[in-house]
Amino acid sequence: MLERQHFDPQQPIVVACGMGVNMMAMFIEMHRRAIRPDLLLFADTGAEKTSTYLYVPIFRQWCRDVDFPELVVVRYQTLTSTPYDTLTGNCLANETLPGIAFGMKSCSIKWKRDPQDRFCNHWEPAKAAWDAGARVNKIIGFDATPRDQRRAKATFAKGKADDPKYGYTYPLQQWGIDRDGCKRIIADEGLPVPKESACFFCLGMKPAEIARNKRDNPAQHEIALDMERRFREGKHYRGEGGTQGLGRRFAWADLKLNEAGDGD
Ligand code: SF4
């Protein structure tokens, strides 16, 4: 069972904070087990759902209450000549969709992973660890459900086990905590359970999630449809054989959404 003593003090603990259910439950459980992270990073794509941005101050306050580090917000560094500073602007300006709509991870690499890695490259505890031949410990909130177990395995399969700079730990899996368990932990702590976190136009959203965001934030939903429209009328659209819209094989504009926004 993973406890504080299993972490090498030479390896600083860094956590990517997505403001979702798994993240919050993992931190509560870490605090209960006296595992204090050294760096908390929130990579802001500028395209998070409103509910995610509203959770940031709740999370910040909880961190202060338990004496965890202050959350650091990092962003993609644009060039002065770049006409956008968010992932939304990136897609709209280039008449395209996030990389995930084409089966690629370029959006999360550019807007989430790279800004965090860039910050770590200049962060003294990480530099000291690397100078001493140790690795920085990246803690990731994959839970114990079969789906997340597969995702964790796939992450390692892509060569991360040999990463000279980072080691990867999935505490929720080691503690056997699944998604429902995460929600119970958050409720027991007296905190609101976060809504699904992702960009408001992410392919990973299920129809019920899209419907909920349309209900709660119609302006964001309209921007997503506009993005899709520009893509379909623009230079990157490849016709019927290619990506059709934010659902990849289909366009969100064609979805029959449950107007009440309930269900899974
Ligand atoms: S949440 Fe979705 S759209 Fe946003 S960066 Fe991640 S994969 Fe891309």
Distance 113 CA to ligand 1 centre (A): 11
pTM of the model: 0.92
Confidence of residue 264 (pLDDT cuts 50, 70, 90): low
pLDDT band at 66 (very low <50, low <70, confident <90, very high): very high
Q: What is the model's pLDDT at position 262?
A: 60
Q: Is 71 in the pocket of ligand 1 (CB under 6 A)?
A: no
- Closest ligand 1 atom, residue 98 Cα: 3
Q: Per DSSP, which regions of the chain are E strands? A: 13-16, 39-43, 71-74, 136-139, 166-169
Mean pLDDT, residues 212-234: 96
Q: How far is the CA of 194 from the centre of ligand 1 (A)?
A: 17
246: pLDDT strictly greater than 80: yes
Nearest CA to ligand 1 atom 3: 202
Pick left, alpha or beta for residue 148 (phi over 0 → left; psi -120 to 50 → alpha; otherwise beta): alpha
| Cα–Cα dist 119/29, whole Å | 26
Q: Which secondary structure element, helix H or strand E, spans residue 182, and what is its range? A: helix 179-188
Residue-wise pLDDT tens digits, 133-174: 999 999 999 999 999 999 888 877 676 778 899 999 999 999
Residue 9: band (very low, low, confident or very high) from pLDDT cuts 50, 70, 90: confident
Sketch out the chain's domains with CATH numbers. 4-188 (3.40.50.620), 207-254 (no CATH)
With 80 as the cut, is the pLDDT of residue 127 above it? yes
Cα–ligand 1 centroid distance for 188 (angstroms): 30
Residue 135's nearest CA partner among 158, 169, 101, 91 is 169
pLDDT at 10 over 90: no
**Atom 4 in ligand 1: which residue has the minimum CA distance?**
199
